[in-house]
Amino acid sequence: MAVNLLDRLHTDAALTSRYDKVILVDPLQYGVQKIPEAVLADPRYEFVEGSIYNPNVVTKVVGAGDLVIHLAAEVNSFTQPQSGSADDPVGYLKNLADARIGRLLFLSSADVYGVNDSADLVESDPVRPTVIYAAAKAAFEAYLSAFHALYGLPVVVFRPVTIYGPNQYPGWLVPRVITQALAGEQISITGDGSVRRDWIHISDVCDLLIKAALSGRDDVHGAVFNVGTGTEDSVLALTRHVLSRVGQPESLITFTADRPGDIPRQIAHAAKARRVFGWAPTTPLYEGLDTTIAWYSQHPQHPQRPGQ
């Protein structure tokens, strides 16, 4: 996610003219540095290896009026579906509030809604996470709500559906399916593959974050926005499409037991984000999948697959 957003930040004239410097903070927990050399060579950009939860890091890089885009998350992968965080969000948010930042954009997840029967998730729907990853996101949102109420922290929360696109770590479903298909490996799908998701291309999410960064509306502070396309398809249909595109047989698909806490259906039209930010996703699923497959075909060693 971060590298894709960085590509946009580096070339978006409206953003580059507004901010003199961009500081990238990453602990490199997956051991891969993916920032393009051209970006690192740009004097406007600085990379800091470390955790945003380290007070020595955050107090050094954050100042008054700054825009902070918080994308930090552990991979909620097929092999590690119950991942969470033991970091210190309270200390981190206190440092941001004390610094009097201009705006904090926080990327949460539509997974916080848990199992639901909605044909269109809305921001007022109950938050009932069913996996630790989503529970950690929901807990962080609660801290953000408190800091907004107590200290006026100017935060905007986004809850995207399933994001896919180039340059993702293949712990996520779509890059895992693509990299395994390209390698001719068995592809494990939980249950019968009928789980349905709203899949949104990473470029559409970046578009929304940039619009939110540039928005002059103060009434978005403290608000939550779903991020979705309003369309859906099953995991099995998506996997079959990938196999067809790379010329591999469907016999590579294997079915395993349902994953505890998995969500049968998740879809969001994101009417609120469309209305407030004048945003709309533009990448149809299978068009986005084809360009994503092409990217992984051209970058077979980047990033590494889990276990390598």
Residue 14's pLDDT is: 79
Parent domain of 10: 2-170+200-232+264-285
Is residue 106 within 8 Å of residue 221, measured between CB atoms? no
Residue 301's pLDDT is: 66
HSE-up of residue 41 (Cα within 13 Å, Cβ side) = 3
Is residue 155 within 8 Å of residue 144, measured between CB atoms? yes
Is pLDDT above 70 for 85?
A: no
In a domain, 186, yes or no: no
Is residue 110 within 8 Å of residue 160, measured between CB atoms? yes
Residue 256's pLDDT is: 95
Please tell me which residue, 135 or 2, carries the higher pLDDT value. Answer: 135
Q: Domain total for the chain?
A: 1
Rounded to 5 degrees, φ, ψ at 305 are -80, 155
Q: Render pLDDT for 23-80 as a digit per residue (tens, 0 to 9).
A: 999 888 766 667 888 888 888 889 999 999 999 999 999 999 999 999 976 655 444 5
Kindly report the average pLDDT of the chain as a whole number.
90
In a domain, 255, yes or no: no
Taking Cα atoms as reference points, which of 237, 75, 209, 96 lies closest to residue 154? 96
Rounded to 5 degrees, φ, ψ at 163 are -90, 140
In a domain, 74, yes or no: yes
CA angle 152, 5, 293 (to 5 degrees): 140
Residue 308's pLDDT is: 38
215-223, long-range: CB within 8 Å, 24+ apart, which pairs? 215/276, 215/277, 217/276, 218/154, 220/156, 220/276, 221/103, 221/148, 221/152, 221/154, 221/155, 221/156, 222/145, 222/148, 222/149, 222/155, 223/123, 223/156, 223/157, 223/276
The region that residue 191 occupies, defined by phi over 0 for left and psi between -120 and 50 for alpha, beta otherwise, is: left
Place 8 in a pLDDT band, splitting at 50, 70 and 90: confident
In a domain, 269, yes or no: yes
Instruction: Output the domain CATH number for residue 165.
Output: 3.40.50.720
In a domain, 28, yes or no: yes
**Chain centroid offset of residue 68 CA:** 15
In a domain, 67, yes or no: yes
